[in-house]
A and B are shown apart, each in its own frame.
Chain A
Amino acid sequence: MEEGNKIPKSASSRLCCRCNERKPALKRPKTLEQICRKCFYEVFEEEIHQVIVGNQLFKAGERVAIGASGGKDSTVLAYVMSELNRRHNYGLDLFLLSVDEGITGYRDDSLETVKRNEVQYGLPLKIVSYKELYGWTMDEIVKVIGLKNNCTFCGVFRRQALDRGAAYLKVDKLVTGHNADDIAETVLLNILRGDVARLSRCTSITTGEDGPIPRCKPFKYTYEKEIVMYAYFKKLDYFSTECIYSPNAYRGFAREFIKDLERIRPRAIVDIIKSGENFRISTSTKMPEQGTCERCGYISSQKWCKACVLLEGLNRGLPKLGIGRSRGLENGNGNRKDMEQNGDVRSIESKQCGSLDF
């Protein structure tokens, strides 16, 4: 049960707490205030506008690609971005960019939604697919490597795919629909998994400024529940199923925890992000040296970029290549065979590639 509701007592009067005119239609998940629909739209859009302006995310005249999966976050993102772009004259050229990982029963359906969004919002759409880029779909990959490390493959491939698509569209920036819940989950995950380097980067609202294409997250402080509410009330068209491989993801632990936490104390989500921003992490030692991949020319801190390493593993029937760290150096007997086979490649992935995000 909620403890110590910080709503002032007057909220029990049956009027929206913001305009005091209309009847409240909902309780805001972030603040538990009772609010009418119109005010909710206004406050939702205004907060995002403030985040965009306050963090100087865009410059007038920029071409911006919106990472669109067809899910609620990217649909609302596309809607709100076009709306704010028009209302506040950001002067941006917006595009939709979608990635087809080749997951039947999930991605093929959500792509239909994105194609509808293209028409509904009038934004040009580009779809990049794993099959085209890498020669493998996620379904094929899962058949080979199972359900344990498939998210690693998908994440690494998607990142490159988005960059390739962005380069094709010749855009200056990429925006994604990562919301407050996502970032809070990532902070927790990085603590649980010992990744201090990522911990220092994961709360930045803009990342990859020194890479091929900067990415920003205008929804950094927006609660997932509020995004759902917005989409629901505005009757936006989105595809609401989770990736079929996600139940096995470790992120599920963090997600469950955050949902329970939100029930007790809604502001904890933003508190986690704030903690993440304030962690005392020495920035001097962490940055990996930036170079390019020998095989494909993509940005990489190692000889080969992670996507190439993973692809190599897939193509040579070595699904564990590139998974985990310093493989074969700790495990004694089991891995000696692997080591002999993959002499030169082994040394490459002894360090985590520093340019990876989720």
Chain B
Amino acid sequence: MACNSGNCQSNCHQNEQVAENDSIPTPTTGSNDGGHQQQQGVCLKCKVSPPISSGSGGGGTGDEARFCADCFRANLFGKFRLAVTSHAMITPSDNVLVAFSGGVASRVALQFVHEMQQRAQKNYEASKDRSLPVFGVGVAFVDESSVCSISKDGVEEAIQEMKSTVSKLAPPVKQFHVVSSASLYSSGSSDEKDRLKKLIGAVDDVTGKDDLLMHLRMWALQKVASENGYTKLVLGLCTSRIACHVIAATVKGQGYSLSADIQYVDARWEVPVVLPLRDCTTQELSILCRIDGLKPSQLVNDLPSGINGLISSFVRLLQEENPSRESTIVRTAGKLTPFHFNRVPEINDSNVPLATIRRQKRYNLKPQESISSESFCPICNSPVIDSNSPSWGSPKTCQFTEFASSCCSSCQFQILPQDQLSMKEFCSLLPERLVARSKPKYNGNLDMLREQIQDCLLSDSDGET
């Protein structure tokens, strides 16, 4: 992009211009700091230690050239802590499950949650009256080896690594759960893995396959969380991934439900989902892993294919052109109106300090409208805009058509089969708990009401046409 002058307002990163003069920096003239006034060769914040990238032969851009390791880490942890405290994500009475994929973001999430827990533990031991209990932490990994092309051994090895990583993060001890998406099928079915394979195979659309796996992953996490008494689910979803999700939701026609997925708190699930790393980019998290020696797992997932793959390369391209693009995308999407469930349910626990409750009240988003009863897609759990709501009309409509019409339009197109016959088979392949979600709960009442007014009804169908 032609950039005419230093007054260019397109947010182009000043460092990019300086990086062109990239030679091995001498210790005195320093590294590639972009700022004109800063002393070269020292961290911007503490002005004492050298920046992370100095001495590594130049080529450091952005944060590595500006901050020293300690300040960088403190900055990142500060963002994490601000997110957690201002949204009351973790309270002393909570039992928190950290979703761990082995990737960079979830490794950092685990590390930070652990550090927070350690501090709470120290405070607990130091306090005389032991009034504040320490929150519990568990770790869960979703094993998708039955439907991905990763070798069984590769997965086993990775799981062992993760187990040892988690065990090193004690005290306090954290339980490590390995759960498979196949476990969503009711216990007792011996052919869970086969059914799962058949289910994924029944989806034609490549992107639909990807997305269905992603939804099942979340359901599996919810299952393990609620079965083991966890009260919050922490995801390592960071700015970069959220930016991709914003574009993906737009491209798949899910503009209505987008604001539900990208908030700090998502309480439509049985175990509320919180995103403490929402303000950190993948790049920052990678740098932290590198400087702190946090090893992400070697388990490399297939590069996303189809539309999701196209979107990640698009966002990467934009990010190269302008390093703050991901944050801008997330900030824009953050201006969309959230839903009523995008805040932590009000805490009524006496164990929770008053300060936390007050802070929560302050930051909790005020609902724009009265709490309306949204209907949710049984597959992806996104709020469905009215036109897709199931017609509780005549009992003659096929239950499979009802299921299909209760799904959001995106799932209808890319996941569900298009014709009636395949629909029936598809419904039989889905885990029962998902299909059960679509059954309107009011059916019984509706029949009773209908009896009372039957004599005044003129046509057969009484649902919305």
Contacts and interface: CB of A to CB of B under 8 A. Distances in A.
Q: How large is the interface on B (under 10, 10 to 19, 20 to 34, 35 or more residues)?
A: 35 or more
Given A148-B2, A148-B4, A271-B252, A281 B325 contact: no
Contacts of B418: 6
Contacts of A331: 7
Contact of A147 (B2, B249, B318): B2
Interface string A229-258: 000000000000000000010100100010
A320 B409 CA distance: 45
A61 interface: no
Contacts of A279: 255-256, 258-259, 336
B2 A191 contact: no
Contacts of A335: 7
A280 B256 contact: yes
A46 interface: no
Interface in B28-55: 36
Contacts of B321: 253
B8 interface: yes
Contact of A268 (B7, B246, B251): B251
A281 B329 contact: no
B192 to A, nearest CB: 25
B9 A191 contact: no
A280 B259 contact: yes
Interface in B217-261: 246-247, 249-256, 258-259
Contacts of B252: 268, 271, 275
A190 B314 CA distance: 16
B336 A192 contact: no
Nearest to B253: A271
B7 A194 contact: no
A281 B206 CA distance: 31
Interface string A262-282: 001101101110111111111
Given A188-B250, A192-B318, A253-B321, A281 B335 contact: yes
A350 to B, nearest CB: 13
Contacts of A10: none
B332 A191 contact: yes
Contact of A274 (B2, B36, B253, B317): B253
Interface stretch (A89-97, A210-218, A299-307, A321-329): A321-329
Interface string B327-346: 01101110111100000000
A21 to B, nearest CB: 26
A4 interface: yes
A143 interface: no
Contact of A272 (B36, B250, B259, B318): B250
B7 A320 contact: yes
Interface string B1-33: 111111111100000000000000000000000
Contacts of A268: 251-252, 307
Contacts of B255: 274-279
Interface in A181-200: 187-188, 190-196, 199
Contacts of B310: 257, 260-261, 264
A146 interface: yes
B439 to A, nearest CB: 26
Interface string A322-349: 0111010001011100100000000000
Contacts of B159: none
A333 B6 CA distance: 11
A3 interface: yes
Contacts of B325: 192
Contact of B329 (A146, A192, A250): A192
B368 interface: yes
Nearest to B203: A4
A193 B4 CA distance: 20
A196 B385 contact: no
A147 B1 CA distance: 9
Contact of A327 (B4, B7, B368): B7
A299 B208 CA distance: 47
A265 B307 contact: yes
Given A6-B418, A191-B250, A248-B1, A333 B335 contact: no
Question: Most chain-A CB neighbours within 10 Å: which of B2, B36, B332, B385?
Answer: B332
B385 to A, nearest CB: 6
Contacts of A265: 205, 207, 307
A104 B341 CA distance: 56
B19 to A, nearest CB: 19
A323 B9 CA distance: 8
Contacts of A191: 246-247, 250, 329, 332-333
A184 B172 CA distance: 51
Given A187-B250, A275-B253, A3 B205 contact: yes
Contact of B413 (A148, A267, A276, A280): A267
B304 interface: no
A4 B332 contact: no
B156 interface: no
Nearest to A319: B4
Question: Most chain-B CB neighbours within 10 Å: which of A257, A271, A280, A331?
Answer: A280
A261 B253 CA distance: 13
B201 interface: no
A324 B8 CA distance: 8
A278 B385 contact: yes
Interface in B405-420: 409-410, 413-414, 418
Contacts of B329: 191-192
Nearest to B250: A275
B334 to A, nearest CB: 9
Given A3-B206, A280-B259, A323-B9, 10 more contacts: A145-B4, A146-B4, A199-B332, A261-B310, A264-B306, A265-B307, A271-B252, A275-B250, A281-B335, A327-B9
Q: Nearest 3 CB-CB pairs, A to B?
A: A275-B255, A324-B9, A4-B204
Interface of A: 3-4, 6, 145-148, 187-188, 190-196, 199, 248, 250, 253, 257, 260-261, 264-265, 267-268, 270-272, 274-282, 320, 323-325, 327, 331, 333-335, 338
